[in-house]
Chain A
Amino acid sequence: MSNLDLVFGALADGTRRAMLARLGEGETTVNALVALTRHKQPTVSKHLKVLERAGLVMRTPKAQYRMVQLNPVPLQEAELWIKRYASLYTDSFDRLDHLLQDERQNSPIEEQL
């Protein structure tokens, strides 16, 4: 499995996306994520492991709390690819539309509307 597969796999779950969204606002504690997701701590830890394996989060011991931090680099790489292909159809049809419009404007026998 490539790293991007791990990233896409991690992103394919609503709870993990909610956790990432929260981490996007700044580092937080595991307890705060437990409160946010309303899952039990072992479930949250499992989700965190998936995110960690994909390189999306880092855990740092700070005082007596274990802080969780977002690492945006793998997300950026995934985003680049997804954003390219996500609107393939609408982007293509926009271009087709322009191609046809240019042709109408450049055609001397076309009626002026």
Chain B
Amino acid sequence: MNTDQYTFEREFSASRERIWRAWSTLSDLAQWWGPSGCTVFGKSLEFRAGGFFHYAMSFGEEPPVWGRFNYLSIVEPNQIAWLNSFSNESCGISRAPFSDLCPLEIHNLATFTDLGDRTKLVLRAEPFGATEAEIEFFKELCETGSLEQGLAGTFDKLDRFLLDRR
């Protein structure tokens, strides 16, 4: 098994046609894509292989952080492959604002399975063209989101440490 790969599975109570629209229209994408606690502004979308989804993520008063999808292939209505990265205001690729150790691009493959009035999504994510150190960073990032170990454990202890000193 390739441990640099992360798979997310989810069932949505909506038709595959509806899910496809949520992934292929600018207004829908801006409503749901992005980390929690941020407001996404969808600047542009060219939903075709070679095209880009370009968006800005705003966290409160801070200057926005830009991101982009670079679509590799689109097979309607069941598969979308794209490279996700941070970007600048002009949709040029850029490093993560917080660390040069974060992989420059993440390769994503989303597959939609029609279950009648429900749709199953399987999303596979892995670093693209990353160095050893960047792959390690990505693993830590993914595990922080799901497991009580590694960075997440360290941060939990930090939170308790700070709480104790309040």
Binding site for B on A (CB under 8 A): 1-2, 4-5, 8-9, 11-12, 17, 20-21, 24-25, 70, 72, 75-76, 78-79, 81-101, 103-104
Give the complex CA separation of A44 and B152 in angstroms. 23
Residues of chain A within 8 A (CB-CB) of B33 are: 92, 95
Tell yes or no: B35 within 8 A of A by CB: yes
Give the complex CA separation of A24 and B158 in angstroms. 6
Interface of B is mostly: helix
Tell yes or no: B109 within 8 A of A by CB: no
Instruction: For A83, give its contact among B8, B32, B155 (CB under 8 Å).
Output: B155
Binding site for A on B (CB under 8 A): 6, 8, 10, 12-14, 18-19, 22, 28, 31-38, 59, 96-101, 121, 123, 125, 133, 136-137, 140-142, 144-146, 150-155, 157-158, 160-162
Q: Is the CB of A8 within 8 A of B125?
A: no
Q: Is the CB of A20 within 8 A of B99?
A: no
Give the complex CA separation of A93 and B36 in angstroms. 10
Contacts between chains A and B (CB distance < 8 A), count = 123
Give the complex CA separation of A17 and B101 in angstroms. 18
Most chain B CB inside 10 Å of its own CB: which residue of A97, A100, A103: A100
Residues of chain A within 8 A (CB-CB) of B32 are: 92, 95-96, 98-99
Residues of chain A within 8 A (CB-CB) of B144 are: 82-83, 86
Q: Is the CB of A94 within 8 A of B36?
A: yes
Give the complex CA separation of A2 and B153 in angstroms. 24
**Identity of the chain A residue whose Cβ is nearest the Cβ of B15 in the assembled complex:** A100
**Identity of the chain B residue whose Cβ is nearest the Cβ of A84 in the assembled complex:** B35
Residues of chain B within 8 A (CB-CB) of A21 are: 153-154, 157
**Identity of the chain A residue whose Cβ is nearest the Cβ of B28 in the assembled complex:** A99
